[in-house]
Chains A and B, each alone.
Chain A
Amino acid sequence: MTYSRTRSSLLIFCILFFQIIFADDNVILNVSAQQHQTIPLLLSVVGKNNKKMQKIAEVVTKNLEYSYQFTVVHKNYKTIPTKSDFEKMAADGIELAIFLSADVHGSVAWRLYDVSVPEMIKGGKSQSNRILRIMAYSISQSVWPLLTCQEGPFFTRIAYCKHLQPKGRRNRSVKHILLADYDGSNAEELVKNDTVNIAPSWNRDKELPLLFYSEVTQTNTRLVYTNLEGRRSVASNFDGINMVLSFAEDGDRAVYCASRGRGSSQLFYCAPGIFKQITNNKGINFSPVLAADGITVYFCSDFKKGYPALYSYNVKTGDFQVIADDAYCVSPAYSAKTNSLAYAKRVNRVLQLFVYDIARKTHRQVTFNNGNKEDCTWSPCGNYLAYGVSNSGKSRIAVFSLLTNKQKWVTHENEDCSYPAWSPIYSEYPLVRLA
């Protein structure tokens, strides 16, 4: 009893001395976020507030609020606000402000301000364009990295196939290829011939956007590409199927699958001066994608398991690896931004999306709701996944935000749309200019 007391007293002294010796005046409080909220941001048109500026401000607002990170507040000023105006803004809880003003040559100038300091963080001008929303996208695309240190999806488009039934031909179905803005708005037809056009994919040449797709003909399914003016050319026209061209980030190397008239589908690798078959088995090898290094191919094949599984193959070393073969896996999509692979895997009879971190070799399920998700594609920023959700015979395109884990529909529920392909960021907005 007494010993325990002496021991405890000794312990207390030791603790106390320890505390005293290591106590520090400079206290750092570590605080972790338990909740999230949107950041209020002022968007102001300075000077002339005509319809053009209103429209641009409206689209910029829509863009900034798309990811649920900002709440845009509007207030217009005749000139750039004074210090007292900034103080009022700060008192109202606004920390950031964007000022838009019409420029002489039809362009729009933007200025991003830190309200509490107050000082201008950066400014710039959007390209002059007769289509106002493109100017707004340009502004949003410039401002977004300053705010979040991430690339925005605003200056991109999503290509997809839309299933149509021509009037008077009930037995025949047609699939056209359309381009829509990143949020599904302003869809316009790019390929509208009287056949089935599927599996679009974009090239990587920033100056010359091209869309590759497979066109079903009477003899085969050929690989065709088109520019945004609608000029088409055939890229691969072997017997059987020629499908799903995937480019490396450099744009010089590509891989696609073709059956060449045989029963099985094999993968073919294309590089400057090189065209070679990289698989040779009795199974069906399909949906190849090239990694950023340009030599690693991720693809689906049923040659080993009898059902589609996910594999990787190094073109140089011949190294072959299994990525996921424990269940039915299809439609891989590679993101160079996040160095990860998205794919669809059957879980409880429903195809759900998974993301495979290539560096860590970990798989993560990202969707859990109803509906089979297929044909996923990454946004160039690596924060969004577009995919087709098939339910009761119809397919609808949705965008899943990996930032907020929320899904947004891109196409209308009455439409039957599939095969989304997210464009990279081109130097010009990929607008359809059919002759």
Chain B
Amino acid sequence: MLRWQPKKLSRKLCLFAEIIALTFLLHAVVVFFFFVIFKSNNTPFHMEISKTAKKKQIIFVPGRIPVPQTTKKATQTPNAKSSSMIAKKNVAPPAKKIPPKKVTPQKSVAASKPNKSTTLKPAPQKQLVKKAVPRPPVKKAPPPKPVKKPEPIKKEVVKPAEKPKPQTEKKPEPIPVPVKEKENTVENLPLQQAKEEISANADEQVFDEDVVYVPLVLARMYCALQEEISSQWKPPVGLAKDLECQISIELAADGTVLKSAVNESSGVLVYDVAARSAVRKINFPRWAYGKEFTIAFKQ
């Protein structure tokens, strides 16, 4: 398959190696994007894919690791999501990969890398290995050898990790809790849960970051908000069909409309008035509190 392929290696092994190389390359690109383009922004994202049924859509769910906070939160969210993925694929590598996070002093960088790798790559690799193992004779067992290599590393790693014992004791607790949450989210991501996730985790600074980092979920939220607005948007009949009125809205932290200004008037007083009236009637969802929007009211 590959030109540099040694004669001893089987095709499957080469394929496996190739996949590893590809995934490594991908991760290199990911890291490059994060650290070069976003200037090492310390809030890595996490994503979850629902593949429960082939017909279902793939949904991206934002997972945010608030790095500046305590290590608990940083470890809980990624672990939970990765575990849900792994649970489906009947693989149990998370235990292996959690310890390196503890060891690494740079929490943000170290935590982000292994999480992604655990969620996406190890699972397919091991499935392949399992399928490959029964067919060939015992001699072709060596492929697991490289897998075993990290184990000694873990043993070494675990020793320094023993020092912060109180932290390690707490870690196993959060794992089962998020798994339940993910079972819900994987099958059917309810909008309300997504909102609650974000609103619960949101500090002021972090929330702004979410807007940038998690547009897919926000898009669903905005769709819900759009529906709410359109239910209130009832202009009078008989006006030109190409009218449009843009109103910018600033919501207070309690959800009341602080400011609403007509950015672009339609030129028809009644139309603008109807748009303003609609703004007053909108019941904004909790996640929208404290945010600014521009609503384009169209015929």
Contact = CB atoms under 8 A, between A and B. Distances in A.
A274 interface: no
Interface in B156-184: none
A29 B294 contact: yes
Contacts of B211: 23, 25, 27
B30 interface: yes
Contacts of B296: 28-31
B147 interface: no
Interface string A6-38: 100110110011011001011111111111111
Contacts of A404: 237-238
B120 A9 contact: yes
Contacts of B295: 28-29, 31
A148 B268 contact: yes
Interface residues of A, number: 46
Interface in B223-280: 225-226, 229-231, 233-239, 246, 267-270, 273-274, 276-277
A36 B235 contact: yes
B35 interface: no
30 contacts: A9-B26, A10-B26, A12-B49, A13-B30, A23-B211, A25-B211, A27-B211, A29-B225, A29-B294, A31-B230, A31-B296, A32-B233, A33-B234, A33-B298, A34-B231, A34-B233, A35-B234, A36-B234, A36-B236, A37-B274, A67-B238, A68-B237, A69-B236, A69-B270, A95-B276, A96-B270, A114-B269, A148-B238, A148-B269, A383-B238
B144 interface: no
Contacts of B68: none
A34 B236 contact: no
Contact of A69 (B58, B237, B299): B237
Given A19-B215, A28-B293, A37-B235, 19 more contacts: A2-B128, A6-B22, A9-B121, A16-B45, A16-B47, A25-B211, A27-B211, A27-B293, A29-B226, A31-B230, A34-B233, A36-B237, A38-B236, A67-B237, A67-B238, A93-B277, A95-B277, A96-B273, A404-B238
Contacts of B269: 96, 114, 121, 146-149
A123 to B, nearest CB: 15
A226 interface: no
Contacts of B19: 2, 6
A86 B14 CA distance: 79
Given A19-B216, A37-B236, A95-B276, A29 B229 contact: yes
B87 interface: no
